[in-house]
A = this chain, B = another copy of it.
Amino acid sequence: MAAATTTGIASTAAQWKELILKAIDSNSHLKHSSFFQLATIGSNGRPSNRTVVFRGFQEDTDKIRINTDCRSHKIEDLKHCPFAEICWYFTDSWEQFRINGLIDVIDGSNSDPVKLQQRENSWFAGSLKSRLQYLSPDPGLPCISDELPRDINLDPSQGPVGSFCLLVLDPDQVDYLNLKINMRLAFRSCKSENGDKHWTSERIIP
């Protein structure tokens, strides 16, 4: 069925990753083009949704990196339910990517030295200013004074502080919508016998 428009051929390369890289490039003049919305499920069973920043793909994989604060609610959400969906809308090219997958929460207590190294790399890839926010008081708690916070100093060579957390989303479903040409593609992953991840794609009605 649907041979003309459906590419039912499995591929190890994630075709949607090429589409994202192209969208990032064509929208790069907009600061907000690296922002997307991350939906999780709260421990109260309700959906939760916030804007976060794309920090790149994990090396040459299709895994997506996000930096966050260990003290934020999303960590609690992810301990309760590790699934998440990114909705990334590119405002200039009118493209939407919905990326569903499992999130690996990598904080300083992680026992895997490779993951701890990835967390450290993500820490140093951020600006000094962005690192400073992890030293501020607990996000989400009431402000108890109008006073400006005291000056915080951070040695640029200092490694990740305790509150710094790397999230790595491993996608297994991607829905792509291009509103300029009214095209929608559904990508699904599957694992082969040797554990390699493969992707199939299908054109669907927008």
Contacts and interface: CB of A to CB of B under 8 A. Distances in A.
A96 interface: yes
A136 B205 CA distance: 9
A62 B164 CA distance: 37
Nearest to A81: B45
Given A45-B81, A51-B96, A140-B204, A89 B32 contact: yes
Interface centre among A89, A137, A138 (most CB of B within 10 A): A89
Copies of the chain in the assembly: 2
Interface size class of A (residues with CB under 8 A): 35 or more
Contacts of A47: 39-41, 47, 81, 83-85, 100
Interface stretch (A15-23, A122-130, A141-149, A190-198): A141-149
A32 to B, nearest CB: 4
